[in-house]
Structure 1
Amino acid sequence: MSILLEKEDLIALNRTGENLKSVLRHLVDKFPASAQTISGMSNWLDYNRSNCQRILNGINKSRDGKEVLCYLPGQAGLQEFLVQVDKKPLEQQLILQAQSAVESFNVQIKKYARSHAELKRLLSNKPVKNNLDKHLLSAEEKREQHYLASKQIIGSSVETLFSCYILKESDENKEYLQEVAMISKQNIVRSKAAPPFVQFYTHPHPEGFTVPENLTLHSRIKPSHFHIGVVNEYSTAGLLSAYSSYSPSNSGIVFNDLEGVDKFDATFLFSNPDELANPLEHQSKCSSTSISIKNPTKKLVMLVFLEKKLDMRSSVNVGCYSGNQKVKEGKLRSDDMWTERLPEFPELKVLHPDSPGAQFNGTIPIGEMSDYVFSFAELNKKDFTCYLLDVDFPIWSSTYRIYFEHSL
């Protein structure tokens, strides 16, 4: 019965695994702390030690839903786990959710294979069967059509969206990560009927805020302050003068149209000292950063620099999610967001900061622009690991989020 899985099948199996990971994690979180290790769980449940290890690996080591299905025990092992769990004084709703997720897994095994072992072999095979008609659009072609339609509907578009993030442990308050970010929108085109140009961000407005800062190459960070400013060198002349107002309710700064220009560039720099929970200090061992596609955009380039002492104890995952939901800091888990994940699998690359790929992306001087951010933050690139996300025609009104799952 050995077959090649189609892309749609892999997406369905990936979601099954993400669901299993989420419900099992919530269930195991309710175990006593002493029962959240391999030997502790085995003793507390009177359950096979090897299967305990496989369950914990599925929860903690998997990078996607398919890996979850490969890590977990088979049907008999999971059923025995549920029987033993049901004997404990745990919230019944969590047990019912786990039973439902395991049953869905069993259905998927029967659909695609004769056994769990065969399904794992199928998931490990590199070739993917594609029964789609050759005349149907590829994923990138679909995104391009979406981009073309969206910019007609909205009346505006962005040629290139470049974002650069630095994440490090705060020197001022160890409870938080210090985040410094540059958001650069290049070749913005707007019709007269388009909504106003707005730059959104997540941090509440500081008390006394009236206007964004005018930032230049000589500007430097105040680590304990929230900064939001227009980057003079990478913005069209007159942008700061076109600033109109800010909206405390949705954290956005609004700009009037620039007179006499058909297209313009707008680059912003932010520093958030007290928004992102430090995974080294919080119960949640997950941190993330994201970019929301607020305007129809032709190309997204995203650089994330993670402090090496954080990176050395983390695994990285990336996803594209519908909308732009605010995640609750200190309680963030990537598997909790599986219901919002789109069937879009952007590739994340690790780059040496001095490599050619970290200097230019097409005509964008990403090396020079990221150097600008490091100069502002008074930090050294050599102390950070560099990640690159590069997407043509990112999906409008979605969020691309990079997760770092930290094991301490």
Structure 2
Amino acid sequence: MPRNLTTSSQRPGLDNPVVIETAETGHSASAGPLGAEELVLADRVARRLHAELSDLINALPTEARNATGLARHLGIDRTTCQRAVFVASRPYPGPELLTRVPGVRALAQLGDAAARAKPAAPADAVAAFAAAVTQFEHLIARCGGSLTRLIRRINATPSSTAVGSVSEGATGDGGAGSRRRLFEAAADLTGRSSQCWVAVYLYRPAPGSSGELELIRANGLIGHLARQDAVPLVFHNFSSKPHGEAAAAADVPGHIHALTSSHADGTPDAVIRPFTSFPLPLVSSSQPNEFLVQAIDENPSAEGRPVDLMFGTRTLIPHPALQTPPVEEAWALVNFPCRHLLFDVYLHRDLARRCIPSLDAHLWRPDFAQNIADRWQTRFASSPTLQLLGSGTRNAASPAWARHAELTAWLFDAARLTSSEFVGYRCSVEFPIWRAGYCVSFDFSPGDADAPHG
């Protein structure tokens, strides 16, 4: 059976890639744990501080992005720089990040020094960081009165408390009632709805290239219904941002192809026929930027009855471990209302052992692919739980769609890949939020061997 994953500071292993979150020790009996609302607030502040600190450090010269170089460039205490660089260069660990960063005064000094340095950090990066530090200061005043007491309260909060589960909405049902009502309203407004939004992503090292990965995916809608006056049906799929004019070339990272041919333009080749209703739709595709845009013209004979639409693509992307930040994001954009989201991502085991997975839900915005550091601005406080499927496809079946295991096996066969060499993760949501993006991310940051001590 699938297992749940939580935010973690330990990398998944080959045979058992479950990541376990550990609690700090030395809890103070005089400091109670954070309440549900306080925990959500602490998570929001910590995420923003992590993002803005990372942005600030990455805006400085390359030689100033390690502890020694930062201290030399800014002319401030090396211990402050060591703690700042350590936090900024690691995956976001949760609200406990606030127990690891320098204090408010030291962070403010770091920002001021970055503004005065030669070369200085950009003014907008300094201002954004200063605002995050101010929010940190306000959190201390509200939830602790002092940083020491806030740290004790965070340490006293059980590590098993998932931040995404503490805000359940007014109905007390985890927001399911609100999401159902949104689905019903959106279906009425758009004239479209689906029984299930389905996607299966496969990541593997690109043959013959240590600097690239190959992404193979199937995605589509099951039991899709449309009225005659429905809005147009258009899919948006992310790719890595194209590299200038060369992105149109077939072998350049970021260019997306149909799974069964060398092109993804205006032909049924992008359609996975065994999982698409007949007669087949007409697919018009374009890739003006980091998106593959697929406009679907359904066959008129399908009007008034549910149809299945499934598409297959493949692309090369830069290896995330070589990017800044070293993160790969797999997105499910819920453009049209659906009753269920079933989103699986499989990593080759050589990749799975090197990264930390996580799952968030975000408000949709057109520049999703532009700046990972801005994710704190759009993240929903309540996010679904990432499930571990384990090695191979033995847990691929789902009650949300009877043919999901069959599709997964078909995709591995079409790609000529051995499923037992892959580790699977799942995002499964009943009544996913319309116009939201569900993001499964994999952080390839270096290990913690150089963690600060003391």
TM-score of the pair, normalised by structure 2 = 0.75
Between the aligned partners of 1:73 and 1:364, the Cα distance in structure 2 is 51
Query: Using a 3 Å threshold, how does the CA distance of structure 1 residues 131 and 336 change in structure 2: closer, same or farther?
Result: closer
Contact 2:167 2:381 in 1 (8 A): no
Which residue is 2:219 aligned to?
Answer: 183
Task: Report SS of the residue matched to 1:168.
Answer: strand
Instruction: Give the letter aligned to residue 372 of structure 1.
Output: W
Please give the per-residue CA displacement for 1:170-216, whole angstroms capped at 9, x wherever unaligned.
226555432111013111122222124334445699799xxxxxx9x
Please give the per-residue CA displacement for 1:129-149, whole angstroms capped at 9, x wherever unaligned.
979997666412211111122
Which residue is 1:389 aligned to?
Answer: 427
The percent of aligned pairs where both chains have the same amino acid is 19
Instruction: Give the letter aligned to residue 55 of structure 1.
Output: A
Between the aligned partners of 1:311 and 1:382, the Cα distance in structure 2 is 13
Q: Which residue, 95, 98, 101 being the options, matches 2:126?
A: 95
Q: Which residue, 283, 287, 295 being the options, matches 1:253?
A: 295
Q: Which residue, 100, 112, 121 being the options, matches 2:143?
A: 112
User: Which portions of structure 1, spanning 4 or more consecutive aligned residues, are displaced by more than 6 angstroms?
Assistant: 127-134, 203-208, 247-250
Query: Using a 3 Å threshold, how does the CA distance of structure 1 residues 193 and 279 change in structure 2: closer, same or farther?
Result: same
In structure 2, runs of 5+ residues without a counterpart are 1-29, 251-257, 447-454
Query: Using a 3 Å threshold, how does the CA distance of structure 1 residues 383 and 68 change in structure 2: closer, same or farther?
Result: same
How far off is 1:111 after superposition? 0.9
Query: Using a 3 Å threshold, how does the CA distance of structure 1 residues 206 and 62 change in structure 2: closer, same or farther?
Result: closer
Instruction: Give the letter aligned to residue 151 of structure 2.
Output: K
Q: Which residue, 297, 310, 321 being the options, matches 2:351?
A: 310
Could you say which structure has the greater relative contact order, defined with CA pairs below 8 angstroms and 6 or more residues apart?
Answer: 2
Which residue is 2:414 aligned to?
Answer: 376
Query: Using a 3 Å threshold, how does the CA distance of structure 1 residues 57 and 140 change in structure 2: closer, same or farther?
Result: farther
Task: Report SS of the residue matched to 1:306.
Answer: strand
Which residue is 1:150 aligned to?
Answer: 186
Which residue is 1:10 aligned to?
Answer: 39
Please give the per-residue CA displacement for 1:304-346, whole angstroms capped at 9, x wherever unaligned.
1123333322222322222253455xxx663332212233312
Higher alpha-carbon deviation: 120-129 or 152-161: 120-129
Instruction: Give the letter aligned to residue 118 of structure 1.
Output: R
Between the aligned partners of 1:64 and 1:266, the Cα distance in structure 2 is 38
Contact 1:182 1:269 in 2 (8 A): yes
Which residue is 1:73 aligned to?
Answer: 102
Count the aligned residue pairs.
390
Cα RMSD for the two superposed structures: 3.4
Query: Using a 3 Å threshold, how does the CA distance of structure 1 residues 12 and 264 change in structure 2: closer, same or farther?
Result: same
In structure 1, runs of 5+ residues without a counterpart are 209-214
Which residue is 2:310 aligned to?
Answer: 267
Query: Using a 3 Å threshold, how does the CA distance of structure 1 residues 143 and 57 change in structure 2: closer, same or farther?
Result: farther
Between the aligned partners of 1:370 and 1:364, the Cα distance in structure 2 is 12
Contact 1:235 1:267 in 2 (8 A): yes
TM-score of the pair, normalised by structure 1 = 0.82
Residue correspondence of structure 1 range 7-406 to structure 2 within 5 A: 7-63=36-92, 66-82=95-111, 84-89=113-118, 90-91=120-121, 93=123, 94-124=125-155, 125-126=157-158, 138-171=174-207, 175-202=211-238, 229-238=270-279, 240=280, 242-243=281-282, 245=284, 251-259=293-301, 262-273=305-316, 276-328=317-369, 334-354=372-392, 356-406=394-444
